[in-house]
Structure 1
Amino acid sequence: MMRRSNTRRGGIRLAAVMICATAGAAADAQQERLSRPYFTEIRDRIPSYNLYGLPGLVDMPTAEMAPDATLGVTVSNFGNTTRGTLSFQVLPRVIGTFRYARLQDSNIPGNRDGDYFDRSFDLRVMLLDETTFLPALSVGLRDFVGTGLYAGEYVVATKEIVPGVRVTGGLGWGRLGTNNPIATVGTRPNTVNGALDPSVIGTGGEANFDTYFRGDAAPFGGVSWDIDDNWRLKVEYSSDDYTIEETRTTSFERNSSFNFGVDYTFDNGTQLSLYSLYGSEFGAQLSFPLNLKTAQISGGNDPAPLPVAPRPAAQINMLGWAESPELRASISEQLAEALIDQGIRLEGLSMTARTATARIDNLRYPVRSQAIGRTARTMTRILPSSISDFTIVLTQDGLPLSAVDIARGDLERFEFEAAQEMYPRVRFTDAVGRTPPVFDDVYPRFGWSLRPYLRYSAFDPDDPLRTEYGVRANGDVVLAPGLEMQGTLAYPLGGNIAGAADDTSTRLPSVRTSFPLFADTDGLRIDDLTLAYYARPAEDFYGRMTVGYLERMYAGVSAELLWKPVDSRLALGAEVNYVRLRDYDGGFGIQENATPEQLRASDAVGDGTFPELNGHVSAYYDLGYGFHTQLDVGRYLAGDYGATLTVAREFENGWRVGAFATQTDVSADEFGEGSFDKGITITIPFAVLGGRATQRTRTDTIRPITRDGGARVSVPGRLYGRVREAHDPEIAKSWGRFWR
C-alpha cells in the first residue's frame, strides 16, 4: 500500500509539472485571446467532454452545451473504470447521452467474474444562456433511466470571466451529493448515509422519479482555461465521494477531492485528454465530436449538371415534331440516354405540343430535389422548344409517388439565382392519373451485390460485444412496376453471436432472445427472401403486400396500407402480419411458434406459445426542424399489446439520429432486465466515404438490452420510408440542392 501511495503522490507531482509547463509555454497565446470579444463563438465552439461523455470539466458537469446537432463519442479509462459514451445535442438547449461502463475487480451484485457492466442515460437542459453579466444555467439528470449506479442530479452555472477562462459552480444530489454535503432535501430512497446502497442497484430501465433532487446536496466547481485553439487546462472540486468504487472494488482509493486535466484538440476536432484524479489515479480519454448538420457529403466524382438550354424565340411555335412518331421516339431515346448518364432512369415519357411528362426513377442522389433539378435541366436540352411546361413524376421501383410541375420559362429565368427562388414556382401533386405508361424495355430490372458484412450484438454481460462476420450476396428483380422480388444469402466466416445464452430473466416467450439459435449455423443461409407488391389503390393511398422469409427469424405474410397526401406532414398507416418461426439453419423450413428450445413453458405467459398474428396502426408526423415522430399502437410478437414512440432528427446530408421507447401491458418483472424496450438509432450515409453520390445508408440500433417484450417483426420495404422522401415537405428541406 505504501508503494501505491508513493506512486500516487508522484503522479500528482507529475500532473502539476505538466500543467505548469504547458501554462507557461502558452502565455503569449493567451495575450492574443485577451484582445478578442468576450463572447465570440461561445455557442459554436466544441466543448470539453468530461469522463461521463458530456460537456464538462474532468468528472463534474458544466452548464455548457455542444453546438446544435453535435454527435459526440468518448472512450475513457481511469483506475478500474472504463466508460464509452454516445451523446447528441438534440436541440441547442438539450443534450442526451447513452453510456456503457465497466467496473473491474467488483463485488457489486450482478457482476460477472469480477466485472460489473452498467448502462445509463443522461439528460441536460440549459435554462439560461450566458450573457454579459449572467452565467449559463443548466439542470441535469444522470443515470435517470438505468441501474442507478451513477444516479445523480445537478444544477450548474458556468461563466466566462475573461476570454478563454470559464468558472463553473453547481449543486449536486445523489452521487453528486455525497462528498461534504451542505444541505438535505427530503429523503432519498435506497441510500446509506446519503450514498446509493450497492445492494439495491436494480435491473434498470425505469425512471426513479421519487429520488430526483432528493437527499443530501453537495457543491462542486472548477475552472477551465482555453490557452489557445488547441490546449485547454482544467481543475475541479468533485462532490462525488466514489463510495461504491472504494467499498465494492479492490483497486480504487479516493485520496483527494481535486481533479486536474489537460485537453489537446486536433485540427479535425478530435480531443485527447489526460487526467490526474482523486489523488490516486491517472486517466485518459479520446473524444470524437462531429456536427451532423454541417458534416460535408462528398460527391466530387459526379458529373457536373447540364446547364439550362434557353429556347430560341423563333422555334417556340414550331410544332411539326408533334406529328412525327419517328421524331417523338428519337426524343425519348435521347432523353433516356442523357438522364442515365446523370444517374436517373427514364421510365416513361408523354408529350403534347406544349407539355411533357417524364416518369423517372432516381438511382443515385440521396435527395430527390437534386434528381428533379437535373432532370428538368436535361429536359430543356432535349425536348422541342414548343414545350413550355414540364411534369416530372417521381417513382420508386415503378410505384408513382408524386408529380412535380415546373414551367420551362422559370428554369430559364432563375438558373443563376438561389434555388429558393424556384421553389415557390414549383407545384407538387399526387401522381395518380398523371403518370405516363412505362416503356416496354424498362422491366424486368435486375440488381445484385456481393459484400463482406459485420453483424454485432452489444451489451451482453458475459461478452459486451459479440460479432459475426462473413460474405453476403443481395439480389433483387423488379418484375413489373410495383412487383419486386429480393433476397439475401449470407455465408458466415466467424464470430461468437451463437455463443450468447438464451436469457432467462424474461417470463415471455423467446421471440427475440432466442436469436443465438438462429446464428448457430456454419453454412450458407437465407437471411430473407420476399416477393412484394406495391400499389396505388386511390389518390393519397399506398398499399403493400409482402410474402416470404421476412427476416432471419420469421417468415409469413405482411400487408400494409398508408394514407399520405403529397403536401401533408401527417401520415396514417396500418399493418397486419401473419408470421411463423423459421428453422434455425436458415433454410426453407418453417416451425411452430413454440419449441422446447425457445420457450420456458413453466414461466411463459399464457400457454407458453406466442401468436401468429400481430400488427399495428401508426401515425407519422413531421414536426419541422428535421424532427420526425412515429407512434405505433398494436400487438407485438410475444402477444403483448402496447405502443412505441419514435422521435428522430434528420439532416439534409443523410445523417439521422433517433430514439424509441415501447411500453406494453407486460410488467417490468415479466419483461426482465431493462423493464421496457428502448434504444437509439443512428443512420450513416455512405456518401461520407467520398466519391460519387449514393443513396446507400447504414442504420444501427443501440438497444441497451434485447428482450422479448415490445418486439416487432422486421419487414423490408415498409411504405412510409419510401413514400415521404418524394413528397413536398421532405423535398422542401433539401431544395438547396435543386441546381446541383
Structure 2
Amino acid sequence: MIDERAQPNRMLGRGIVIVGVTILLPLGATRAIAQSDASDNRPVFQSDFGGVGLLQTPTARMAALGEMSLTYDEVDPYTHYAFSFQPFEWFEAGFRYTEIENRLFGRSIAGDRDYLDKGVDLKLSLVDEGRYMPTLAVGFRDFGGTGLFGSEYVVANKRWHDFDFSLGLGWGYLGSRGDIGNPLRVFGDRFAERIDEDTGQGGDFNIKQLFSGRPSLFGGIQYQTPYKPLTLQLEYDGNDYETEPLDNPQEQDSPLNIGARFRVNDNLVLSAAWERGNTAMLGATLSVNLAGLSQPKSDAPPVAAKPGTGHHADDWSRVASDLSQNAGISATRITRDADSLIVEGQPTRFRSMPEAELRANRILHNVADSDIQKFRYRWKERGFYLREDILPRAPLPEDPLLVAPESTFSRDDYRHGVASITSSQSRADSSAGETVYESAGDVFSWNLSPGLNQNYGGPDGYLYQILARLDTQLKTDEHGWFSNTLAYTLLDNFDKFDYIADSDLPRVRTFVGRYLDETDLGIYNLQYTRTARLADNWFGMAYAGYLEQMYAGAGGEVLYRPFNSNVAFGIDANWVKQREFDTQFGLRDYETWVGNATAYVDTGFKDVLAKVSVGRYLAKDIGATFDFSREFDSGVRLGAYATFTDAGDDYGEGGFDKGIYLSMPLDVFFNKSSRRYASVAWRPLTRDGGAKLARRYSLYGLTDQRALGDYWQDYEDAGP
C-alpha cells in the first residue's frame, strides 16, 4: 500500500530487569575481543525459534541495530515462521508462528489443518562484553501467547578468537530437563514449582510462571571457519522433550545439537542441523537492515549559481517550474516583501528540507534583485501554514564563483543566519509586498499502485488479495478536497476463508474475509475532507463519505500542536455505519459512535514517538491503545501497538489487539528522491475488540512540518 504521508510513530524506552543469577564462563586467562556486537563484524544467526541464538537455544548476542529477520525452518514435528527485529542495540523482539504437524486445530474448526501456535518473544541486553566480562542478557519466549513454549532465561556470551561461547540457565520449555535446583528459591517458595497457568485462548501475560520451577543449563559454541560464509554450531539443549505441548513428547537420543550456517549473501542464510540426536533441521533466514537502507541518488544536480546579483526574473512562471523540477518545491505563491523573497508551497521530492531549500536558494539567487538579502520558505499542507524557514542569500563557501578568494566565510557562519519560525494564516495574509507569482497548484491528481491485503494465523492458513489501486483527488479550494480509492482484485485465495471465530462482540472486523472475498471492484474510499486553522497552535479537520472499506460516516478531529514541541494532543469523534460486503454504496444496519483522545509524545530518546489513545472503539468497547515506534536514520519507521479494552473475556482468542507496522520511504529502494512512503502492517489475529476506524487522514500527519526533527542535522548533510 502506498501512503501519501507516513504517520509519525515511535517505541518504548529501555526497561531494566535484574535477575539474581550469576553465570561464569570457564575461559581461564584467555584474551577475548572486548567489542560490542554493534561494532563487531562477526556473524550472529537466528535460532530455530527466531531471535539471535544457536539452534534451539538463545544467546546473549544481539543483531545489528535496525535488523529485521524472517526465519523459516522445519524440525519434525515443528515448523517455525519467525519475525524478529532489533529496534535498539539492547532490545530484541519478535513474533512467531509454530505449526505442529501432528496435532490439529480441531476437525470442527479447520478439518485436517495442522495446529498453529502464536507467540511473542523478548530479549534485553543487561551487560556489555568487556575484556574479562561476558555479555549478559535476559529473555522471555512465548511471553503473552498461549504459553505452550513459554520460557525465561539468563544467558552469557564470551568470544575467544573465532569461537563464541554461550552458557545460560533456562526455565520452562528451555529448561524442562530440570537438572539443577532453582537458585531463586532463596527469594521465596513462589519459585519452587512452575504453575501451569490456564492461558485460555492466549493473549495473557504468564506472570506467575516467571523464573519458577527447576531450571536447566544450556549453552554451546559457535565457530567461524576460515571459509567465511560457513559457520559451525554445537549446543547443549536444556529441554528433554518429554513434556512437549499438547501431550506430544518427542524422543531425544542426545542433548547435543550440531548445525551449520551458510551465508549466501548479506541478506540470506541457509541452515542445517542434526537435533535431538535423531532429527534433521533445515531452514533459511532472510534479513534486511532497516537502519541502513539507502540508494545512491541520480537526481539532477543543483543549478549553477551565477556570479554577481541583479539578474531580475522576466518570467516567474519559469522560476516556479525550476523550483518544482530542481528543488522539489510546488510553489503556490512567490512574493517580494522588503529585502525578502517569500516562497509559499509544499515540498514534493526531497525528504530533507535543507536539500530543497539550498537548491531553491541557488535558483532564486540567479533571478533576485540585488537588494534581496533573505529567502523565506513558508511551508504549507492542505491549507495550513505550518512553519517558515528563513535563509540568508549569502553564498555558501562551496560556491567558488560566489566567494572571493580572500573570504573567510564558512558554512557555520551561514548556518547562524538560518532560522525556522512558526507561521500562521493571519501572518501570511498580512504580508505586505508584491506578489509576482500565484497558482492554485494541481486541481486534479491521480496515482496507480499495487496493494496487498493478507491474513495469517487462523485455521484457514495464509490468505491474500493482490489489488490494483487507483487513487484520485479533486481540490475544491485550498482547504477542501474530494479523495477516492478504487481497487480491483487481481489475484486472491479468499475462497478458502471458512472459519469465523465465535464472538460475543458485534462483528465489526471479523467479517473481513467476506469483504475481501465478495469485492472485485470496490470503492475503498470516497470522502470530502475540509481543514481549518482554528488558532496559532490549533488545527481542525472534518470529513464525510465512505471512509474505509467497511465503514461510511462522518467525523472530525481537533489537534493542539505547538511549533516544534515534543508534545501534541488531539481528539476525534466519528459516527459510522457498516457497509455492505461488496464495497459498493450499500450500507448494513450496524452503526455506532467512535472516537479517541490521543497524546503524542516525542520522547527525545532514540527517535522514539509514543502515542497513547483513550476512547470508544467500533465494537462499542472502551479502552486504550499504546503505540510506540522508532524512526531510523534511513527514514524507516518500525512500530508496535497494543489495545486493551473492557471487552474482557468477550474478546476471544488473543486476549487483546496488537500488531506491528513498517513505514518505508520509497527512495530507499530507488535512485530518485521521493517523499512517498510504502507501509505495511501485521497483526497476529483479526478480532472485533479494540478495533479502530481506519481514517484516511490524521492531523498529526498533515502537520508534520510543525516539528523540526532532524532539520539541523539534515542541513549539515545537505549539498551546497
For the aligned pair, the TM-score class normalised by the smaller chain equals: 0.7 to 0.9
Q: Which runs of 5+ in 1 are unaligned?
A: 1-34, 322-326, 594-610
CA gap of 1:553–1:522, structure 2 versus 1, over 3 A, is closer
Q: Cα gap change, 1:563/1:39 in structure 2, threshold over 3 Å: closer, same or farther?
A: same
* 1:592 aligned counterpart, secondary structure: strand
Deviations 1:55-114 (A, max 9, x none): 111111111111222222222122221112111112111111111121101258798425
Cα deviation, residue 687, structure 1: 1.9
Structural mapping, 1:439-478, within 5 Å: 441-443=439-441, 445-463=443-461, 465-478=462-475
Specify which structure has the higher proportion of helix.
1
**Letter of the 1:333 counterpart:** S
Residue type of the alignment partner of 2:667: A
SS of structure 2 residue aligned to 1:340: helix
Q: Output the CA distance in 2 between the equivalents of 1:196 and 1:243.
A: 17
Indicate the larger mover: 303-312 or 333-342: 303-312
Aligned twin of 2:295: 297
CA gap 1:481/1:717 in 2 versus in 1, 3 angstroms: same
Instruction: Answer whether contact 2:567 2:602 (CA < 8 A) is retained.
Output: yes
Superposed CA deviations along residues 263-290 of structure 1, whole A, max 9, x for unmatched, are 1223424222211111111112222232
Of the three residues 595, 603, 622, the one matched with 1:623 is 603
Superposed CA deviations along residues 388-441 of structure 1, whole A, max 9, x for unmatched, are 1111011224432211111122x5347699988755542222220343689654
The alignment status of 1:691 with 2:671, answered yes or no, reads: yes
The residue type paired with residue 382 of structure 1 is: V
Paired residues of 1:506 and 1:673 also in contact (CA < 8 A)? no
2:483 corresponds in structure 1 to 486
Q: Contact (CA 8 Å) 1:139, 1:156: kept in 2 or not?
A: yes
Question: What displacement does 1:516 show?
Answer: 2.0
In structure 2, what is the Cα distance between the partners aligned to 1:418 and 1:81? 63
Question: In structure 1, how many angstroms separate the alpha carbons of the residues matched to 2:365 and 2:251?
Answer: 75
Deviation sequence 1:475-528 (CA, Å, 0-9, x none): 112232121211011222332336534634321111111122222325422111
Cα distance in structure 1, aligned partners of 2:90 and 2:399: 39
2:423 to 431, 440, 444: 431
Aligned-pair distance for 1:310?
A: 5.3
Q: Name the counterpart of 1:264.
A: 262
Partner of 2:569: 572
Quickly say closer, same or farther: Cα 1:244–1:630, change in 2 above 3 A.
same
Which residue does the alignment assign to 1:6? none
Q: CA 1:246–1:680 in structure 2 vs 1: closer, same or farther (change >3 Å)?
A: closer
Instruction: Provide the rounded CA distance (Å) in 1 between the counterparts of 2:297 and 2:31.
Output: 37
- Return closer, same or farther for 1:419/1:128 CA change in 2, 3 Å cut-off: farther
Say which SS state the counterpart of residue 696 (structure 2) adopts: coil
2:405 aligned partner: none
Residue 224 of structure 2 aligns with which residue?
A: 226
Are 1:183 and 2:181 matched, yes or no?
A: yes
Letter in 1 for 2:699: L
- Give yes or no for the alignment of 1:640 onto 2:625: no
| Alignment match, 1:401 | 386
1:670 pairs, out of 641, 644, 650, with 650
- Cα–Cα, structure 1 residues 638 and 101, in superposed 2: closer, same or farther, change >3 Å? same
Alpha-carbon distance, 1:679 to partner = 0.9
Match for residue 174 of structure 1?
172
Provide the rounded CA distance (Å) in 2 between the counterparts of 1:55 and 1:239. Answer: 17
Structure 2 unmatched runs, 5+: 1-29, 401-408, 430-434
In structure 1, distance between residues paired with 2:325 and 2:38: 44
Question: Counterpart in 2 of 1:659?
Answer: 640
The separation in 1 between residues aligned to 2:676 and 2:282, in whole angstroms, is 36
Partner SS for 2:361:
helix
Shift of 1:296: 1.5
CA distance change for structure 1 residues 172 and 711 in 2, over 3 Å: closer, same or farther?
same
State the distance in 2 between where 1:709 and 1:449 align: 34
Matches for 1:656-735 after TM superposition, within 5 Å? 656-667=637-648, 669-725=649-705, 727-729=707-709, 731-732=711-712, 734-735=714-715
* 2:332 matches 1:337: no
Q: Give me the whole-angstrom Cα distance separating, in 2, the residues matched to 1:80 and 1:514.
A: 33
Alignment of 1:150-549 (within 5 A): 150-160=149-159, 162-184=160-182, 202-228=200-226, 229-245=228-244, 248-249=247-248, 252-300=250-298, 302-309=299-306, 311-312=308-309, 330=314, 332-342=316-326, 343-409=328-394, 411-413=395-397, 425-432=417-424, 433-435=426-428, 441-443=439-441, 445-463=443-461, 465-497=462-494, 499-501=496-498, 503-549=500-546
Structure 1 pair 504–230 and aligned structure 2 pair: CA distance change class (3 A): closer
Q: Larger RCO: Structure 1 or Structure 2 (Cα < 8 Å, ≥ 6 residues apart)?
A: 2
Relative to 1, partners in 2 of residues 1:194 and 1:358: Cα closer, same or farther, differing over 3 Å? same
CA distance in 2 between counterparts of 1:452 and 1:387 reads: 47
SS at match of 1:43: helix
**1:50 matches 2:47:** yes
Report the counterpart of residue 22 of structure 1 in structure 2: none
Name the Cα RMSD after superposition: 2.9
* In structure 1, C-alpha distance between the alignment counterparts of 2:569 and 2:246, rounded to whole Å: 54
Contact 1:298 1:693 in 2 (8 A): no
For 1:419 and 1:497, how far apart are their aligned partners in 2? 59
**Contact kept in structure 1, 2:176 and 2:239, CA below 8 Å:** yes
Match of 1:598 in 2: none
Contact kept, 8 Å, 1:420 with 1:735, in 2: the verdict is no
Match for residue 12 of structure 2? none
Q: Distance in 1 between matches of 2:255 and 2:713?
A: 49
Whole-Å separation in 1 of the counterparts to 2:305 and 2:609: 35
- AA in 2 matched with 1:241: D
| DSSP-derived class of the 1:460 partner | coil
TM-score by length of 2: 0.86
Q: In 2, are the aligned partners of 1:443 and 1:478 still within 8 Å (CA)?
A: no
Matched, 1:588 2:580: no
| Residues in 2 aligned to 1:503 and 1:211: alpha-carbon distance in whole angstroms | 32
1:563 is aligned to 560
Tell me if structure 2 keeps the 8 A contact 1:158–1:169.
yes
| 1:340 CA displacement | 1.7
Q: Deviations over 1:597-656 (max 9, x none)?
A: xxxxxxxxxxxxxx5211111110111222111111111111111111100001232211
Q: Is the 8 A contact 1:124 1:140 kept in 2?
A: yes
Distance 1:418 1:115, change over 3 A: farther
Distance 1:705 1:247, change over 3 A: closer
Q: Distance in 2 between matches of 1:530 and 1:137?
A: 54
Structure 2 counterpart of 1:145: 144
Relative to 1, partners in 2 of residues 1:278 and 1:109: Cα closer, same or farther, differing over 3 Å? farther
Q: Structure 2 vs 1, CA of residues 636 and 733 (structure 1 numbering), >3 Å: closer, same or farther?
A: farther
CA deviation vs aligned residue, 1:23-78 (integer Å, no higher than 9, x gap): xxxxxxxxxxxx99834564333412211211111111111111222222222122
CA contact (8 A) 1:546 1:558 kept: yes
- CA offset digits 1:197-227 (Å, max 9, x no partner): 7x95631111111100001111011111112
CA contact (8 A) 2:84 2:92 kept: yes
Q: Secondary structure of 1:104's match? A: strand
Distance 2:712 2:639 in 1: 21
Amino acid at match of 2:236: Y
Q: Percent identity?
A: 29
Q: Which deviates the most, 291-300 or 532-541?
A: 291-300
